[in-house]
């Protein structure tokens, strides 16, 4: 199943007898809170879910956006009206990263029918679709979180994958090379990782590229049939967008290093590489 859904298809499904649950996960790394955007206007029926506090665990040794506690996540998803048999669509402002992390989290939690609105809220508004400030009161769902629906890398597994597969660092080249690090205390990349910024998976229109174009881009960094692949970024949010692109390209086995660079550098014994090359 394509992990993306277009505006027209979502609008039609929202008018159907059994519409999907829609989650608004608008978020910015440096703020202001996405809830303010939600209050100003959102898709009809959409429920706001906070990426930092509801879809991730507290920052620590697992990075800035670690895995959530399964029981706490189940409570959040049920309160949003999510049940095992009901489709879910998530959207953000249009950047795609927050929505991709929400998509990944629900898929990891065992929900098989989750998609991201391609182009997000910006695309919805540009298409002339309705926006509301009404806050819904969804009937509680019965979703049970079953971790393991998508593969996860810890630091040791990420290091191994960098040596015997393809570990993609999806950050901008300057951060990969270690020339700058605006967020974390150490600059550089995981030794053996290759750099492919997640922005390369998006066209000029802000939409995710078609599957064939994605496959060609991934092949340039060694992602071919039979080669294991995973991705990381600063804290496991942007890399989820690359995992989503890998799914669209047919690589549903792609793994996410959730802790990413923010988790890697919590242990000073872990090696750090700099420069253009993997090592």
- Taking alpha carbons only, the member of 140, 154, 110 closest to residue 258 is 154
Q: Angle, to 10 degrees, between the axis of helix 97-108 and the axis of helix 238-248?
A: 70
CB 77 within 8 A of CB 141: yes
Q: What is the pLDDT of residues 117-155, one digit of tens each?
A: 999 999 999 999 999 999 999 999 999 999 999 999 999
pTM of the model: 0.97
Mark the ranges of the chain whose per-residue pLDDT is less than 50: none
CA 210, 250, 50: angle at the middle one, nearest 5?
80
Domains contained in the chain, CATH given: 4-126 (3.40.250.10), 152-264 (3.40.250.10)
Which candidate in 233, 239, 245, 258 is catalytic?
Answer: 233
Residue 205: per-residue pLDDT? 87
Q: Residues 253, 258, 260, 264: is their CA dihedral positive or negative?
A: negative
> d(Cα 113, Cα 106) in Å, to the nearest integer?
9
> d(Cα 200, Cα 257) in Å, to the nearest integer?
20
Residue 4: per-residue pLDDT? 98
Residue 32: per-residue pLDDT? 84
Annotation says 233 is catalytic: yes
């Amino acid at each position: 199943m394509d992990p993306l859904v277009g505006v027209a298809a979502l609008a039609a499904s929202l008018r159907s007898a059994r519409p999907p649950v829609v989650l608004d996960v608008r978020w910015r790394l440096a703020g202001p809170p996405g809830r303010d955007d939600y209050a100003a206007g959102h898709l009809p029926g959409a429920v706001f879910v906070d990426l930092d506090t509801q879809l991730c665990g507290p920052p620590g040794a697992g990075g800035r956006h670690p895995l959530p506690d399964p029981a706490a996540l189940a409570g959040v998803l049920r309160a949003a009206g999510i049940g095992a048999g009901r489709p879910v669509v998530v959207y953000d402002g249009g950047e795609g990263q927050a929505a991709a992390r929400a998509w990944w989290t629900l898929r990891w939690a065992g929900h098989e029918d989750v998609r991201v609105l391609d182009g997000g809220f910006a695309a919805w508004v540009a298409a002339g679709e309705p926006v509301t400030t009404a806050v819904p009161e969804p009937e509680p769902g019965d979703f049970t979180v079953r971790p393991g629906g998508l593969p996860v890398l810890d630091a040791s597994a990420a290091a191994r994958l960098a040596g015997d597969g393809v570990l993609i660092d999806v950050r901008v080249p300057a951060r990969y090379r270690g020339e700058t690090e605006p967020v974390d205390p150490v600059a550089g990349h995981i030794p053996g990782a290759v750099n492919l910024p997640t922005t390369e998976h998006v066209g000029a229109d802000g939409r995710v590229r078609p599957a064939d174009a994605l496959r060609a881009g991934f092949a340039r960094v060694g992602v071919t049939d039979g080669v294991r692949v995973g991705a990381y970024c600063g804290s496991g949010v942007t890399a989820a967008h690359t995992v989503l692109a890998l799914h669209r390209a047919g690589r549903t086995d792609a793994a996410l290093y959730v802790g990413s660079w923010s988790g890697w550098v919590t242990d000073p014994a872990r090696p750090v590489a700099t420069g253009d090359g993997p090592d």
